[in-house]
Amino acid sequence: MITDSHCHLDYFSEEEQPAIVARAVAAGVTRMVTIGTHVGQAAAVKAIAERFPEVWGTVGVHPHRAGEGAMPTVEELVALADHPRIIGLGESGLDYFYDKSPRDVQREGFRRHIRAARAAGLPLAIHARDADDDIAAILEEEGRAGGPFAFLLHCFSSTPALADAAIAMGGFLSFSGILTFPRSAELRAVAARMPAERLLVETDAPYLAPVPHRGKRCEPAHTALTLRVLAEARGESPEAMAAQTTANFLRLFPRAA
């Protein structure tokens, strides 16, 4: 059993969603998490998670959308997550590559999501791009100020230093199709030395399709391809890696158990 810990099923039409989920299950991907990116989308995420027993969801505001209107309060985020099929907050975080929202607004939104995750007792899915120092600093500051909270760095493609910092703080790392790209040798080296009990896999579908589908539309069934490369990088069998990453997922997201 393989778990796609991060995808965007609402980016596929309602008509094609059943076939997308069926192809995933046929490929051994028996759990999927469809991710929230803005408040107005939360109802759609919940509806998809209710529609398919293999699918769970999260709610939150992506850093690209952080500057669109008022950022939800901590209390509003907690209330938004009060649903039996919602198992986490996010995705939130920082993106200094595209800078689609002011950086101070991104940072404030990230802090609110951390506090909401702690208050709700749910893990936080974190988007980090070209913002490693601020991601690490905010995680450390919020941990010192309010106590520990569960989180994972999704679609991990950042520096080894951020990977080490996240692991030291009790975080998890999730790897996407980027892991399979020919130029991702350094990323595979990071994945190879991380603790086995902190690793997850994902697609970020419909983006970042793994080799040999690179450049095409990605879907959750492709998680199996990324998992195979992760297993190879670590010198393990795909079966063992599937069991490990799914066990890790269920430990991080206990509502999905």
Separation of alpha carbons 89 and 216, rounded Å: 28
State the sign of the Cα–Cα–Cα–Cα dihedral 19, 2, 207, 46: positive
CB–CB of 185/210 below 8 Å?
A: no
State the sign of the Cα–Cα–Cα–Cα dihedral 141, 144, 145, 148: positive
Residues 6+ away with beta carbon under 8 Å from 100: 63, 64, 65, 67
The DSSP 8-state label assigned to residue 70 in this structure reads P
User: Residue 203 corresponds to which amino acid?
Assistant: T
Output the pTM of the full model. 0.97
Torsion of CA 42, 45, 47, 51, to 10 degrees: -170
Q: Could you tell me which CATH class the domain 2-256 is placed in?
A: alpha beta
State the sign of the Cα–Cα–Cα–Cα dihedral 235, 238, 240, 246: positive
Per-residue pLDDT 10s for the chain (257 aa) are 999 999 999 999 999 999 999 999 999 999 999 999 999 999 999 999 999 999 999 999 999 999 999 999 999 999 999 999 999 999 999 999 999 999 999 999 999 999 999 999 999 999 999 999 999 999 999 999 999 999 999 999 999 999 999 999 999 999 999 999 999 999 999 999 999 999 999 999 999 999 999 999 999 999 999 999 999 999 999 999 999 999 999 999 999 98
The total number of residues shown for the chain amounts to 257
